[in-house]
Amino acid sequence: MKELADGFRRFAAKADSKFYSSLIAGQHPHTMMISCSDSRIIPEHIFDAAPGELFMLRNVGNLARTEESSVRACIDYAVKHLKVKRIAVLAHNQCGAVKATEDKEHLDTEGLKKWLEQEEYTGSDLEHAEKAQAVRQLAKLSEYETVKDAVASGKLELCALYFHLDPISMETYEDGEWRSL
């Protein structure tokens, strides 16, 4: 608990009180981001986003498991109530969830086995597998009714991003290809 308490005190000492007070009126994020739970991947920092700009769904492997009620609820709320302009899937290099799909026999808990059971390791190496997984999540999202309707009406766009930890760089998936930002 000490790490959390000390961290909060450092945050509170430098936080902009007026800005945080303004957030009481509501949130208006421009993007819903589906990101990995990996503690090294912090989308708000990576995209230099202020509180209220990104609506986050984080899970092991940045999966768009639309058959899961918590995932559906997050998507529905972001699209129908918050009116986000886009849903972005943020993949990253050295993803443990993607590594795990190469040999699922090593998954040692029922939770991980169940969560990753639909995923597959595709590609010639880990980076290709991580990128392929992100593209599969876009396909899943595009089949979900809430997303399908919003995209068809021009109110929502989908994108996939791939973050490299070292050297720091970003790629985006457009027109069937990965390109550097």
Per-residue pLDDT of 12-21, as tens digits, reads 999 999 999 9
Residue 102 in tokens: 């190469």
Question: Cα separation of 47 and 113, whole Å?
Answer: 31
Q: What is the mean pLDDT of the chain?
A: 94
Per-residue pLDDT of 79-106, as tens digits, reads 999 999 999 999 999 998 999 888 887 8
pLDDT on residue 113: 86
Residue 151 is given by DSSP the state H
Helix axes 145-152, 69-76, angle to 10 degrees: 20
Dihedral angle, C-alpha 173, 176, 177, 180, nearest 10 °: -20
Show me where the domains of the chain are located. 26-180
Question: Cα separation of 121 and 98, whole Å?
Answer: 7
> Hey, what CATH topology would domain 26-180 get?
Beta-carbonic Anhydrase; Chain A (3.40.1050)
Question: Cα separation of 172 and 162, whole Å?
Answer: 6
